[in-house]
Amino acid sequence: MNIAKVIVDVPASSINQTFDYSIPIKFQEILEPGMRVIVPFGPRKIMGFVVERVSESSFDKLKDILDVLDLTPVLTKELLELGKWVAHETLSLSITALQAMLPQVLKSKYKKELVRMTDASLPTELEHLFAGRDSIDYEEFEHVNISYYQLQKVIQAGDISVDYLVQSKITKKQILMVKPARESYFLEEAMIDLPKNAKKQKQLLTYFIENHSSISQKELVNKLQTTPGTIKNLVDKGLLETFKTEIFRNPYDDDSIERTTPLELTEEQRQAIEPIHDAIDRNQHDVFLLHGVTGSGKTEVYLQAIQKVINKGEEAIVLVPEIALTPQMVNRFKGRFGKSVAVMHSALSAGEKYDEWQRIHRKEVQVVVGARSAIFAPFENIGIIIIDEEHETTYKQEDQPRYHARDVAIHRGENHNCPVVLGSATPTLESYARAAKGVYKLATLSKRTNDQPMPNIEIIDMRAELHAGNRTMFSRKLKERMEQCIRNGEQVVLLLNRRGYSTFVMCRDCGHVKECPHCDIALTFHKNSNRLKCHYCSYEEMVPTICPECSSDLIRYFGTGTQRVEEALTELIPEARVLRMDVDTTRRKGSHERILKEFGDKKADILLGTQMIAKGLDFENVTLVGVLTADSMLHLPDFRSSEKTFQLLTQVSGRAGRHELTGEVFVQTYTPDHYSIKLASEYNFLDFYKQEMGMRKKFQYPPYYFLALITVSHENKVKVVQTTQRMVQLLIKKVNQNTVVLGPTPSPIPRIKDRYRYQCMIKYRNEPNLRTFLNKIIDQFSDEIKKDNLLISVDLQPYHLM
């Protein structure tokens, strides 16, 4: 068995196969499938995964494996098989699928070191090598004559660990602070000398005259709606000073988390958990759909199911949407299971992610809570997989491999004979339809645990507001209630349903809209930097002062960005303290948590944000939720737009009145009669489900039909259209009669980064060989893909039709 089959790290379809290498003697004792190796490939040395050891090869002159990167496999047998399955299901390359399962650190070159983990004495040679040190460079080991086998033994015994030298950044973070450089009377005098129109500078000085202390630049900019540039002006004049300070934080500081004990379950919870416990006991793979209104105690059900799994000596994977992975959520799991919990979060640094992955790999934890990719956690005895908020689209990966975490979860659940639990207040139509057919087992939690009613949702017709002469984006009723709330010391959550809107610049004279020169899409206005940016490529430019088309100076920005709403809001209710949460204010690591903490500490009256505020927040003082534009998503070219609107409204309504105070929700809309808005306001999931299923059937969409989206892109438009046309013709010949092949049609964004984009959509009910057809057809274009920069991408069960 001295030949290894290796999948090499060359992302090209022509190389999507295993290659045989012979295993040199020094590695023969240690090499196992799932280890990474370095192999010669043409003139290069590249990384590869060993997938199998065999004794014969059909090739006669094999090259040697040059080096072995891991002394314990990084991928288990199950994960190697899973990689193959993911690659097949998503039409991606094996190497891409395998890489997707590993933390970033294992995909790039870092220095390794060997670290002693225990006091146990090592074999003499290794003791000599360490020479009293706690850790040594891995290279030192490679330069002495100690067998890999010997080292592998002590690693397996847990006495030595291989670590990667990646800097960990989370605990140390520098922030820029601003403070006055002179006494207040000096600032007052300086203010008189400033030119009349230096309003921004005066405002800053006034602030520091009133508050003679330091403040972070970020907070200052937010507070005064000023710019770093204005601050710099005053620093240059010697009036202000900036300095850096280090803040220490660890969002998951385990020791400070209060331990919790299992709650006595409600009758509904008991009925929901019983069959899950049963499946755990019997090692039975079943998929459960836990349909529970927000606040119905789904999380407690998860926790008690996991407890049972841990008691059995097995492991649990919990997926939550990335943006719901807040300390609030994580603490509920750490509070119950303490140090047995690993967290996989995209905001962790590469080093931290690797550390968490190592804790799983070494079996130091039994539970992982994480976003999508945590579904690949290298556990070997999985007892349950839970997907919270199963309707979230973030469970679908948008680039290769385009897997859906739910499908992977079910596949792993089958491998491990364990239950999979999908939880949501608004399940996807796909999942609910499966539950209705009995493919999944349905459990329903219809009541909140505290017996509080769901907050009352009132629909406000914004057309009527307009007729009554109210041109602002806040209805009179919402304004009045917000003011009332603030007076009572209660808090407000305002959702701006931003998808479908952006802040763009338009000329009022000729209607010219500034577009990206490389992508067919309007540039987005960013107030802080006063620049226009493209959200698809990195293009940006200054905001023009005169229209490039007609030279008019009436060029203004339009749309409903959160920044604009924030301005309008502070104008409307000047006493309101507003916190804004959107992609701009949460770009920096940790800012999401910080905003939530500030709001929780009641440092603001109103939390204004996009979709990301709709999930998982639990603040006792929130009594009012406002949705500013409920219908902005309804007009997108997306067959799920009604479903998404229904889900969003339900989720955000769940944010109000979760505790003693009762809550109230106002939904502003221009289409008050749309069924998704109406039924969401009545919390009527079932009727929504029925009505939407009718639409899906009529227009041949999931769950009645499966979809495959092929996107072709190239710099030459004619070529794109022709290629797509050829694909359509090839496909039509192959597929069943009742399968629909649509196209070529321009993609909703017809050009990105100077490449034209056309698509073809396949709607099918039963095409067992579709993946094979698609692979064959794409193969016919492989020359053009390789030589002519043609791109063809296939997305099976797409979520974004762009």
Distances 788 to 325, 472, 686, 782, 785 between C-alpha atoms, Å: 42, 52, 51, 10, 6
Q: Which does 265 bind (CB under 5 to 8 A by kind): Zn ion, ligand ADP, none?
A: ligand ADP
Angle between helices 199-210 and 228-236 (to 10 degrees): 80
Site for ligand ADP contains 651 (CB under 6 A): no
Question: Closest distance between Zn ion and the C-beta of residue 756, in Å?
Answer: 14
Site for Zn ion contains 539 (CB under 5 A): yes
- In the bound state with ligand ADP, the residue whose beta carbon lies nearer, of 180 and 616, is 616
CA–CA distance, 341 with 329 (Å, rounded to integer): 12
User: Side chain identity at 680, as an amino acid letter?
Assistant: A
Torsion-angle region of residue 500: left (phi > 0), alpha (psi -120 to 50) or beta? left
Site for ligand ADP contains 413 (CB under 6 A): no
Site for ligand ADP contains 304 (CB under 6 A): no
**Token digits of residue 595:** 């905003």
For ligand ADP, which stretch binds (CB under 6 A), given 92-100, 293-301, 334-342, 520-528? 293-301
Site for ligand ADP contains 328 (CB under 6 A): no
Site for ligand ADP contains 266 (CB under 6 A): yes
Site for ligand ADP contains 299 (CB under 6 A): yes
CA–CA distance, 118 with 126 (Å, rounded to integer): 14
Question: Closest distance between ligand ADP and the C-beta of residue 18, in Å?
Answer: 44
Cα angle 620, 626, 630 (rounded to 5 degrees) comes to 135
Site for Zn ion contains 51 (CB under 5 A): no
Site for ligand ADP contains 226 (CB under 6 A): no
- In the bound state with ligand ADP, the residue whose beta carbon lies nearer, of 269 and 739, is 269
CA–CA distance, 730 with 733 (Å, rounded to integer): 5
Q: Which does 516 bind (CB under 5 to 8 A by kind): ligand ADP, Zn ion, none?
A: Zn ion
Q: Which does 300 bind (CB under 5 to 8 A by kind): Zn ion, ligand ADP, none?
A: ligand ADP
Question: Closest distance between ligand ADP and the C-beta of residue 426, in Å?
Answer: 12
Site for Zn ion contains 550 (CB under 5 A): yes
Q: Which does 299 bind (CB under 5 to 8 A by kind): ligand ADP, Zn ion, none?
A: ligand ADP
Q: Which does 492 bind (CB under 5 to 8 A by kind): ligand ADP, Zn ion, none?
A: none
Q: What letter does residue 596 receive in the DSSP assignment?
A: H
CA–CA distance, 435 with 453 (Å, rounded to integer): 26
Q: Which does 540 bind (CB under 5 to 8 A by kind): Zn ion, ligand ADP, none?
A: none
Site for ligand ADP contains 297 (CB under 6 A): yes
Site for Zn ion contains 306 (CB under 5 A): no
CA–CA distance, 381 with 747 (Å, rounded to integer): 44
- In the bound state with Zn ion, the residue whose beta carbon lies nearer, of 155 and 521, is 521
Site for ligand ADP contains 263 (CB under 6 A): yes
Question: Closest distance between ligand ADP and the C-beta of residue 662, in Å?
Answer: 15
Site for ligand ADP contains 1 (CB under 6 A): no
Q: Which does 510 bind (CB under 5 to 8 A by kind): ligand ADP, Zn ion, none?
A: Zn ion
- In the bound state with Zn ion, the residue whose beta carbon lies nearer, of 505 and 627, is 505
Three-state SS letters, 704-759:
CCEEEEEEEEECCHHHHHHHHHHHHHHHHHHCCCCCEEEEEEEEEEEEECCEEEEE
- In the bound state with ligand ADP, the residue whose beta carbon lies nearer, of 291 and 640, is 291
Question: Closest distance between Zn ion and the C-beta of residue 536, in Å?
Answer: 5
Site for ligand ADP contains 265 (CB under 6 A): yes
DSSP secondary structure string for all residues of 427-458 = --HHHHHHHHTTSSEEEEE-S-TT-PPPPEEE
CA–CA distance, 320 with 389 (Å, rounded to integer): 7
Count the residues of the shown chain that bind ligand ADP, applying the rule CB under 6 A: 14
- In the bound state with Zn ion, the residue whose beta carbon lies nearer, of 247 and 513, is 513
Site for ligand ADP contains 296 (CB under 6 A): yes
Ramachandran angles phi, psi of 801, nearest 5°: -90, 15
Q: Which does 296 bind (CB under 5 to 8 A by kind): Zn ion, ligand ADP, none?
A: ligand ADP
- Asked if 555 contacts 525 with a C-beta cutoff of 8 angstroms, the reply is no
- Asked if 620 contacts 659 with a C-beta cutoff of 8 angstroms, the reply is yes
Strand pairing category for 382-387 and 315-319: parallel
- In the bound state with Zn ion, the residue whose beta carbon lies nearer, of 508 and 602, is 508
State the binding string over 442-461 for ligand ADP (x if CB under 6 A, else -). -------x------------
Please count the CA atoms within 13 angstroms of the CA of 263 that sit on its side-chain side: 16
Site for ligand ADP contains 92 (CB under 6 A): no
For ligand ADP, which stretch binds (CB under 6 A), given 263-271, 278-286, 343-351, 364-372? 263-271
Residue 499's CB is within 10 A of a number of other CB atoms, namely: 17
Site for ligand ADP contains 657 (CB under 6 A): no
Site for Zn ion contains 534 (CB under 5 A): yes
Q: Which does 321 bind (CB under 5 to 8 A by kind): ligand ADP, Zn ion, none?
A: none
Question: Closest distance between ligand ADP and the C-beta of residue 335, in Å?
Answer: 10
Cα angle 459, 465, 467 (rounded to 5 degrees) comes to 135
Which residue blocks in 93-227 are alpha helix, DSSP H? 94-100, 124-130, 138-143, 148-156, 184-193, 199-210, 217-224
Using CB under 5 A, pick the residue from 547, 576, 613, 624 that binds Zn ion.
Answer: 547
Q: Which of 385, 231, 395, 415 is nearest to 317 (CA)?
A: 385
Question: Closest distance between ligand ADP and the C-beta of residue 323, in Å?
Answer: 15
- Asked if 506 contacts 488 with a C-beta cutoff of 8 angstroms, the reply is no
Q: Which of 650, 653, 656 is nearest to 686 (CA)?
A: 650
302 CB-near residues (< 8 Å, 6+ apart): 318, 386, 388, 421, 423
CA–CA distance, 561 with 602 (Å, rounded to integer): 24
Using CB under 5 A, pick the residue from 53, 173, 312, 518 that binds Zn ion.
Answer: 518
Residues at the interface with Zn ion (CB under 5 A)? 507, 509-510, 512, 516, 518-519, 534, 536-537, 539, 547, 549-550, 552
| Residues in contact with ligand ADP by the rule CB under 6 A | 263-266, 269, 292, 294-300, 449
